[in-house]
Structure 1
Amino acid sequence: MSQCSPFDDLHIRDALDMTLIFAAVDQNISWLFSGPAVLALKKQQQPNMLGIKDFFKNIKTLEIYDVENIYVCEKSLLDYGLNKNDLLLDVQALNFDQQKALIKTQQHVVNL
């Protein structure tokens, strides 16, 4: 689960690296983006203009590694004026109760 802004520290980058590592060894991964973390999925970003390395394009590699369980907080999308068409990947938007249910079904939860 990611809740931090993609422009602060390296939380999203670390989560992406961890997800790709586990996916490479055939683990079934679910990734939930909530709060400002949903901004990491926004299309046509230019982080280089902020002096940040462009790792956002690497998020598209999740499809290559068969990471298909990508979720976003429905409220967070609304808070940032986004909809699913604004995002790099095909995601499933979840309300709060659906997020709680998803988290309960996971064997392990990592919050970055």
Structure 2
Amino acid sequence: MNKVAFMFRTAPHGSASGREGLDAVLATSALSEDLGVFFEGDGVYQLLAEQDPSAILGRHYAPTFGLLDLYDVEQVYVCQQSLSERGLVSEQLSIAVQVLAQEEWQQTLACFNVRLSF
């Protein structure tokens, strides 16, 4: 069976990429237990708890990432370097994640033979 990694690399608002990626993770979780969710680059903004996209008429969907736990998606990773470059810490995120240094990030990602990027 394939191990599938969902990689979030884009900011949450301005495109539908993040919402579509989240929908894909939740749908795929019904078919497979070997899922990993990775946030790097501007994708770390997907998880910020204090978002207010109402000014751009956007929907605040970050709380929906809380469903990952209910769908038994337990492998959720955030790149430490991406957080640091943006002046963020894991306590600012809306869900519990595993923060990985660059080398750990690469080793963990290498365990997944299918990678989908959003």
**TM-score of the aligned structures, taking structure 2 as reference length:** 0.87
Asked whether the equivalents of residues 33 and 72 of structure 2 are also in contact (C-alpha less than 8 Å), the reply is no
Q: For residue 3 of structure 2, what is the aligned residue in structure 1?
A: none
Give 1:48 deviation, angstroms: 1.7
Q: Which amino acid aligns with 1:102?
A: T
- Higher-strand-fraction structure: 2
Question: Which of 40, 58, 83 lines up with 1:52 in the alignment?
Answer: 58
Q: For residue 75 of structure 1, what is the aligned residue in structure 2?
A: 81
**SS state at 1:54 partner:** coil
Q: Structure 2 unaligned runs (5+)?
A: 1-6
Asked whether the equivalents of residues 9 and 117 of structure 2 are also in contact (C-alpha less than 8 Å), the reply is yes
Q: For residue 97 of structure 1, what is the aligned residue in structure 2?
A: 103
Q: Which amino acid aligns with 1:12?
A: G
Cα distance in 2 for partners of 1:51, 1:93 equals 31
Cα distance in 1 for partners of 2:40, 2:16 equals 16
1:5 aligns with 2:11: yes
Matched residues, percent identical?
Answer: 26
Q: For residue 37 of structure 1, what is the aligned residue in structure 2?
A: 43
| Equivalent residues, number | 112
Give 1:84 deviation, angstroms: 1.2
**SS state at 1:109 partner:** strand
**SS state at 2:116 partner:** coil
Asked whether the equivalents of residues 49 and 63 of structure 2 are also in contact (C-alpha less than 8 Å), the reply is no
Question: Which of 16, 19, 28 lines up with 2:22 in the alignment?
Answer: 16
Give 1:68 deviation, angstroms: 1.1
**TM-score of the aligned structures, taking structure 1 as reference length:** 0.91
Task: Write out per-residue CA displacement over residues 20-72 of structure 1, whole angstroms, 9 at most, x where no aligned residue.
Answer: 00112243210110011101111121112221112222111111111111101
